[in-house]
Amino acid sequence: MRFFNRTEETAFLKKIKDQNGKHMIVLYGPRRIGKTYLLRNAYPEANYFFVDTRSSETLLKDFSRRIFDGSFENWDAFFKYLLNSK
């Protein structure tokens, strides 16, 4: 797949990457317009969590299992863990 007309978006994402600290980026839009491809191009080494239409509880359990053996009680605990880890 070729990468078309995403220079501004890629530059914006790389600028965030070059800043100190941790950042959370929310990227949304219609299907099949290149959101995932854009992220993978800008952040090839990053971890991704894709949100879909499942319930909040199901998503939290699935995301929890991806980063450690167990489950977080709530989203606040999940994001605090992410912010305090590498």
Co-location of 14 and 40 in the same domain: yes
Co-location of 41 and 60 in the same domain: no
CB 17 within 8 A of CB 43: yes
What pLDDT does residue 3 have? 62
Q: How remote is the C-alpha of 67 from its chain's centroid?
A: 13
Co-location of 22 and 44 in the same domain: yes
> For the whole model, what pTM was predicted?
0.62
Structural domain containing residue 36? 1-48
What pLDDT does residue 83 have? 86
Co-location of 23 and 65 in the same domain: no
What domain count does the chain have? 2
Model confidence over 13-68: pLDDT tens digits?
A: 989 888 888 888 888 888 888 888 888 888 888 877 778 888 999 999 999 988 88
Co-location of 34 and 6 in the same domain: yes
CB 37 within 8 A of CB 51: no
3-class secondary-structure state, position 86: coil
Co-location of 7 and 43 in the same domain: yes
